[in-house]
A and B are shown apart, each in its own frame.
Chain A
Amino acid sequence: MLYTFTYMFSASELYKVEKPSRYIGGEYNSIVKNWENIPYKVALLYPDLYEVGMSYHGLQLFYYKINGETDLLAERVFTPAPDAINMLKEKNIPLRSLENKKPLSSFDVIAVHFLTELVATNVLETLSLGEIKLFSNERTPDDPYIIAGGPAISNPAFFEPFLDAIFIGEADDIIVDLVRFLSEARQKHANREETLQRLTTLFDGIYVPSLKNSVKEHHVLREDIYYPERFLVPNVEAVQERAVVELMRGCTRGCHFCHASSYYRPVRETPPDKVVELVKSIKKSTGFSEVGLLSLSTFDYSKLNDVVDRLQGEHLNMSLPSLRLDSLDLSLLKKVDPTAHLTLTIAPEAGSDELRKKLNKGFTNEQILRAVDVLSENGWTKFKFYFMVGLPFETEEDVRSIAKLLNEADSVAFRNNRRSRIHGTIASFVPKPFTPFQWERQITPDEAEQKYTIIRKSLKRQIDVSFRDPWFSLLEGVLSRSDEKVSQVVLEAWKRGAIFDTSENDQKRAIWEDAWQSLNLDPLDYLKGRSTNEPLPWDHIQVGPEKAFLETQREKSEKGLLTEDCRYGCLGCGVCEGDLWPTMA
């Protein structure tokens, strides 16, 4: 009755690692194909812990899309936790996939998901554990092709030497043919340079670091977006364990600091019938009791009322991420999610109306306080606020106004409900490439600390505020606007032990500081403002709007002029062409 199977670890080894079920696979809805019978094989590498990666919708999307093809096989690989890494190294065990438990090096293609720049050292560690040659130029025709994609690698300079190719944009309609092409090349032992050269001519959105080719982001039409109808049920409870249905891709609001707004243009709403069908089918195939309706600005989805009404009575907890106050609908919120009585998350970003306008966020403090008033009167007890300091055009008064707004919100909420709690999260602004703020100066960690102190001193004692370590904002900023020299720092930091840099601590900071010093580079040099005339390290890549449009937006920001929602009139940003236009439900 008992049956045996093979793990990456033996039972006695598994027993010694934390959460061993991270490493065994076999989840409900996982697909284990016959390794010998499938010609083309890709490993989907998510460079973080199992429970983090299993929350990522994109991983499930590619997993089912690729495994839906009879000649392809996709298997998952995550970065093991530090204790398991030590075990692998100690016992000399190569990292294996979760499905067929095959070493990473036995796949034709390894597709790396970059959702944040701070996973760079995790990628190196994972490839190294999989016995993959780290540098692209060291790989032979027998080695797997390492490709990467995701918003955080849209300026790939900090990671170029380690990748064979980078996919810029959305790969729903390309991934299958891309994997076939590269797998075939590997199996035929084709010349790698020629293969990669051909790749750039055959597919849109391909950037090959060794060729330094110019590339334009690839977008998919709404009808080509792939919607998985089932989900893997994680062994270890995922960070966000729920069925995710893409309500819409893209956002029309165009906040000037927002990279996703550039990367995922234009808006493509999923038809409501499709959303309802997907929610029901994922619930049926997983048993999940929570559904996340994924979008960058949920209340902008034109048929939200319709979708919510049709999902009532399904024993489902719905969560709506990314709510904007200027489109908040209280009656809908009450209907959608009874748990909203617990928490409402608002991202004012700036404390003053003037500065918020310069970010292209049109709502005011008055609207925020009115929302807190109405919601706290209606039973909401927790209000989370997200702010940034060091924004372009920010004054000291703007910084003080963050504390002032939090204090006022606390007074309003407490007046209506004595159990109300206000929580603020404050981080240092990171200018991202391909946004209107890509030329802006990023403040130093010392300056950020000074601003944090101003806020701390003006806050009421009972308000709970967490401040992001500004040093890690610096690291994120340096990587996202990096040039090629930074890739050497990444390598050096990894060699010195940097890993899991998304969790902040002083030890990691010291490792990175040593790495910069050893290469005689100063991270502060990468924080400086850049002139709009000056060439940027990512100029050969075009993501989202054209550069001229970004410049115009930056000028409007300086003048405090808002840009309209592009659903109500084309702004000429240069993204839409042919059949690609904002598509409403």
Chain B
Amino acid sequence: MADYGLTIFFEKTGESAWLSYKDYVRHIGYGLVRAGLPLLYTEGFQERALLQAPPALPLGVSSLGEPFFIPMNKNLSLTANDLKPYFLRAETPVLVLNYKLPHYLSLFKTPSDLLKLDLEKQGLKRTLDEQHIDTWDVVKVGIEMVNGEQIDLSLRTAD
């Protein structure tokens, strides 16, 4: 694995909320190629750009920022605004960090409450079903890292 990399938060709103997660990840991969970033590629017969996608969201759930880790061989300094022209509005990059995120909890705003979930361990879909909440009424608004640091995505616009 590469020594360096960027964590880029992308929206999954509007039309993109209705994309399967596989298709959403595919779109992000294409956007990174369009942006001409110095990506690393798999070394199989079919070359693919390397990226690490976050845990999947159920179909219909919007997110104000899905963190993708993009491994690279050199340090890069760029902002979300630099990347904006290469992505759909519904998949706008909103935040760029020059490190890989540690384990984190996802924060969701629902019509009744704020949900805090470890998506690796706890499924969002089942939680919403139990509370009779429609997936399209739910928005991921932030993340909370294990060290207590929070990223409130609802306050962010592309920098």
> What is A's interface to B at a CB cutoff of 8 Å?
1-5, 11-12, 14-15, 19-21, 24-28, 233, 235-237, 283-290, 315, 317, 338-339, 341-342
Contacts and interface: CB of A to CB of B under 8 A. Distances in A.
Contacts of B145: none
A283 B33 contact: yes
A24 B34 contact: no
Contacts of B60: 11, 14-15
Contacts of B41: 315
Contact of A11 (B30, B31, B36, B136): B136
B47 to A, nearest CB: 6
A442 to B, nearest CB: 40
B157 interface: yes
A285 B64 contact: no
B88 interface: yes
B47 A285 contact: no
B47 A5 contact: no
A22 to B, nearest CB: 10
B49 A289 contact: yes
A342 B64 CA distance: 41
B71 to A, nearest CB: 15
A107 to B, nearest CB: 22
A14 B16 CA distance: 13
Given A2-B13, A21-B20, 6 more contacts: A1-B157, A5-B15, A11-B60, A28-B30, A235-B19, A289-B48
B9 to A, nearest CB: 12
Interface string B44-70: 011111000000000110101000000
A317 B157 CA distance: 36
Given A283-B33, A284-B34, A317-B46, A2 B139 contact: yes
A283 B36 CA distance: 10
A4 B49 CA distance: 32
B27 A237 contact: no
A26 B15 contact: yes
A289 B36 CA distance: 13
B129 to A, nearest CB: 12
Contacts of B34: 284-287
Task: Name the residue in A28, A284, A339, A341 with the highest tally of chain B Cβ atoms < 10 Å from its Cβ.
Answer: A28
A315 B15 CA distance: 29
Given A5-B14, A11-B134, A15-B135, A235 B23 contact: yes
Task: Name the residue in A1, A2, A283 with the highest tally of chain B Cβ atoms < 10 Å from its Cβ.
Answer: A1
Given A2-B139, A317-B47, A342-B45, A24 B18 contact: yes
B88 A28 contact: yes
A145 B129 CA distance: 48
Nearest to B87: A28
Contacts of A315: 33, 41, 47
Nearest to B153: A1
7 contacts: A14-B18, A21-B23, A24-B18, A26-B15, A28-B27, A237-B26, A290-B46
B47 A289 contact: yes
B78 to A, nearest CB: 17
B14 to A, nearest CB: 6
B27 A26 contact: no
Given A1-B154, A15-B59, A287-B34, A26 B14 contact: yes
A26 B88 CA distance: 8
Nearest to B139: A2
B101 to A, nearest CB: 21
B151 interface: no
A317 B48 CA distance: 10
Contacts of A236: 20, 23
B105 interface: no
Interface in B139-153: 139
B19 A287 contact: no
B80 interface: no
Contacts of B88: 26-28
A284 B31 CA distance: 10
Nearest to A339: B45
B97 interface: no
A402 B146 CA distance: 65
A317 to B, nearest CB: 6
B90 interface: yes
A127 to B, nearest CB: 26
B45 A235 contact: no
A146 B88 CA distance: 33
Task: Name the residue in B48, B88, B157 with the highest tally of chain A Cβ atoms < 10 Å from its Cβ.
Answer: B88
A25 B32 CA distance: 21
Nearest to A316: B47
Contact of B64 (A1, A237, A290, A317): A1
Contacts of A285: 34
B157 A288 contact: no
B134 to A, nearest CB: 7
A24 B13 CA distance: 13
A341 B139 contact: no
B90 A287 contact: no
A27 B23 CA distance: 12
B65 to A, nearest CB: 10
Task: Name the residue in B11, B15, B29, B136 with the highest tally of chain A Cβ atoms < 10 Å from its Cβ.
Answer: B15
